[in-house]
Amino acid sequence: MSKKDLFDLSGKVALITGASRGIGESVARTLADYGAHVIVSSRKIDGCEAVAQSIRDAGGSAEAYACHIGEMDQIEAVWAHIEKTHGRLDILVNNAATNPHFGPIEDTDLGAFQKTVDVNIRGYFFMCARGAKLMKKQGGGAIVNVASVNGVAPGHFQGIYSVTKAAVISMTKAFAKELGQQKIRVNALLPGLTDTKFASALTTNESIKKQALTHIPMYRMADPDEMAGTVLYLVSGASSYTTGTCINVDGGYLTV
């Protein structure tokens, strides 16, 4: 492979969950820009189709498919669709996540606990497992799990979310260890504070945001597009000897 082609994704099929907005949308657009056919997935088809259509309008290749990774039947459905339609998957980016409880950890109710675990742990696990089975058939692939800096340093009032993201980090390493000889690489992105609707509980409260920024050496939030380059690296030939790695993209937050 020429060094100029290290990031070329032409002919690759990529599934990105939680791709109707935020980090997932930025990742979908970036992978399409580099030649991949992207499957834009999230819970609601309308948001997915809007992103997919804009990618097609810009000259890229994309389709939309609704999938709620907190529902096992929908996980099975998306993989059945991919196998029937494409017969392969080269890239999986697990980005969809939930955080229904923002408040004292001891006030977490069972419903919020279960929903967070079902999506952020069970959903990621079975997306990885099902993706790995399909990738094995074709001789390899790349998986990126979007975790969080909260998986390393738990966020204030984000207890169960932080616990699940720590699980994603461990899960990434476990899958990487077992799938390495199958030529399936599994890595994780650990975003810091990013200006998305998902993080609005932090970003729209000025006092909370100001406090958060004091712990970030770059003293600003990230734009979702600033996450996409790291994912591009992790799914491309540029990272052919990289697996089991968790990359912090956090403005220096974890160095403080």
- The model's pLDDT over 187-202, given as tens digits with 9 standing for 90+, comes to 999 999 998 876 666 6
Catalytic residues: 161
- What are the domain boundaries of the chain? 3-255
Sign of the CA dihedral 246, 249, 254, 255?
positive
- Look at residue 201 in the predicted model and tell me its pLDDT: 66
- The model's pLDDT over 194-230, given as tens digits with 9 standing for 90+, comes to 988 766 666 677 777 788 899 999 999 999 999 999 9
Amino acid present at 151:
G
Mean pLDDT (the chain, rounded)? 95
Mean pLDDT of 168-182: 98
Superfamily of domain 3-255: NAD(P)-binding Rossmann-like Domain (3.40.50.720)
Instruction: Tell how many helices (H) and how many strands (E) occur in the chain.
Output: 9, 7
Q: How confident is the model at residue 101 (pLDDT cuts 50, 70, 90)?
A: very high
- Look at residue 210 in the predicted model and tell me its pLDDT: 85
* Of 53, 54, 87, 71, nearest in space to 17 by CA: 71
- Look at residue 205 in the predicted model and tell me its pLDDT: 72
pLDDT higher than 70, residue 243: yes
Residue 93, φ and ψ in degrees, nearest 5: -115, 105
Mean pLDDT of 72-98: 98
pLDDT higher than 70, residue 108: yes
**Residues pairing with 66 in the sheet:** 42
Q: How confident is the model at residue 90 (pLDDT cuts 50, 70, 90)?
A: very high
Residue owning tokens 């020429």: 2
**DSSP helix/strand/coil, 1:** coil
Mean pLDDT of 48-58: 98
- Pairing of β 91-94 and β 61-66: unpaired
**DSSP helix/strand/coil, 48:** helix
Mean pLDDT of 227-254: 98
- Look at residue 196 in the predicted model and tell me its pLDDT: 81
- The model's pLDDT over 3-52, given as tens digits with 9 standing for 90+, comes to 779 999 999 999 999 999 999 999 999 999 999 999 999 999 999 999 99
Quote the percentage of the chain above a pLDDT of 70: 96
Q: State how far the alpha carbon of 127 is from the alpha carbons of 15, 50, 131, 177, in Å.
A: 10, 24, 6, 17
Query: Which long-range contacts does 123-129 make (Cβ < 8 Å, 24+ apart)?
Result: 123/69, 123/70, 123/75, 123/94, 123/96, 124/69, 124/94, 124/168, 124/171, 125/171, 126/69, 126/72, 126/75, 127/17, 127/69, 127/75, 127/92, 127/94, 128/92, 128/94, 128/171, 128/175, 128/186
Quote the percentage of the chain above a pLDDT of 90: 90
Stated pTM of the model: 0.95
